[in-house]
Structure 1
């Protein structure tokens, strides 16, 4: 029989998803700060780079940081709620004669 996941309980699920959203809001703020710092460090005032360079840098850094934090947040959500422990890994042995 498959054991129930702790995320099946609406109270625990609401708490876990609220924690995930809090982590994502924090990471969004950090991402904005890192992007602004990167653009400031790259801008030298001479204007030799195109505006497209700065847009690409901002999107590249921003997308990478947000995707990474979203995936890591899901790992923390899964592990922190005990959802991983509810998985049944009792597979039959595959013995070859």
Structure 2
């Protein structure tokens, strides 16, 4: 029988996702700060180049950082709630080992 995941409990899930949202808000603030610093440094060193360049840099850095934060946040959520420990890993061994 497959054990139940701790995330199936509504209280535990609500706490875990509240923590995840708090982490994502913090990482959004960090991302905005990094994008502003990167754009300021680019403007300082290169002057005014095409506005499309600055837009592309801001979107590239912002999207990359938010994607990494979301994925790492999900890893922390999964591990922190005990969801990883509830997975049944009793697979049959192969003879090729």
Query: Shorter-chain TM-score: which interval?
Result: over 0.9
Q: Where do residues 15-94 of structure 1 align in structure 2 (5 Å cutoff)? A: 15-44=15-44, 46-47=47-48, 49-94=49-94
Q: CA deviation at 1:88?
A: 0.3
Distance 1:75 1:46, change over 3 A: closer
In the superposition, the TM-score normalised over structure 1's length comes to 0.93
Unaligned residue ranges in structure 2 (runs of 5+)? none
Q: CA deviation at 1:95?
A: 2.6
Unaligned residue ranges in structure 1 (runs of 5+)? none
For residues 3-22 of structure 1, give each alpha carbon's deviation from its aligned partner in whole angstroms, at most 9, with x where no partner exists: 11000000000000000000
Q: CA deviation at 1:64?
A: 0.4
Equivalenced residues, count = 95
Q: For the aligned residues, what is the CA RMSD?
A: 1.2
Deviation above 4 Å: which 4+ runs of structure 1?
none
